Homo-oligomer: A and B are copies of this chain.
């Protein structure tokens, strides 16, 4: 326990891929809770690709992080001091603490961590990424037994949830991941029927060939979380009436590739294949969290749904872990131990 607040602030807006100089490490006095609030000592916080979007000063679904403000994140930790009725010191809670050692939050924005669950599970497999995969697959993807699903970043916390749920629902599951190690993990840990290393394919056409072999009956659901080369490769392989839940486009967060206009070809696929492409932001569907937890929680507890995490040690290492994550440097859910 420390009596100094340590936090990572946004020093400037990144151009393309973030670099270390875009962040600053700040210290200060511990904040004090007001009425109805609690001070949380953060043990872990989550790093997720969506945070890259918050670093831009562009109109989006959420306010950008201000220059000098603490980077946003879901965290987990213990209540150090409480001025809220019913929330006692020592309670293990989760909430939007930011990249920080401590945070003051309204008690209404803090959720106790369920008993019998690893505290960091609420940041990943049973948190926002897990809910994202579960909601997007079931509500938009509408999987049918015997169909084929493709998901990229397949060993990440969203992709691995999507793949395991789809496999359990009787689909053929095809992973796209970066490197041989992640491909092996996709098959061995998350049970994908096939895994393709996108780094082994220089262009979309080559990647498409590998995907066509792995998905001989075409692709019914492409769970979209990357955009870029994978999207370009998959689009012509989509089956009629295919579905594409769109929850991210990490390949484009750092700027676009130097290609010709790929919009006409994409639109042609949407039309000719009668695709449904639907964007979603999991914050809109947070009310489904109890349904998700009652469906997936027991399957995680029984070990039917696997999850892995990468832990960066020390809050000072959060920027480098985030930068590495955007480049695919992690193998599991990336968290930071403060």
Contacts and interface: CB of A to CB of B under 8 A. Distances in A.
Contacts of A268: 249, 252
Contact of A261 (B240, B256, B277, B279): B256
Given A272-B279, A278-B277, A280-B274, A227 B267 contact: yes
Contact of A277 (B249, B257, B273, B277): B277
Interface string A191-214: 000000000000000000000000
A171 interface: no
B267 A252 contact: yes
A151 to B, nearest CB: 16
Interface in A275-298: 275-281, 284
A168 to B, nearest CB: 26
A271 interface: yes
Contacts of A275: 277-279
A26 B269 CA distance: 34
Interface in A42-93: 59-61
A243 to B, nearest CB: 10
A54 to B, nearest CB: 12
A284 B267 CA distance: 18
A264 interface: yes
Among the interface residues A248, A262, A267, A274, which one has the most CB atoms of the partner chain B within 10 A?
A267
Interface residues on A, range: 35 or more
Contact of A267 (B61, B231, B259, B269): B231
Contacts of A274: 61, 278-281, 284
A35 to B, nearest CB: 34
A279 B268 CA distance: 9
4 tightest CB-CB pairs across the interface, nearest first?
A: A262-B263, A270-B279, A271-B279, A277-B277
Given A61-B272, A262-B262, A272-B279, 17 more contacts: A61-B273, A227-B263, A227-B264, A227-B267, A231-B267, A246-B271, A249-B264, A256-B261, A257-B261, A259-B261, A260-B260, A260-B261, A263-B266, A270-B278, A271-B279, A274-B281, A276-B276
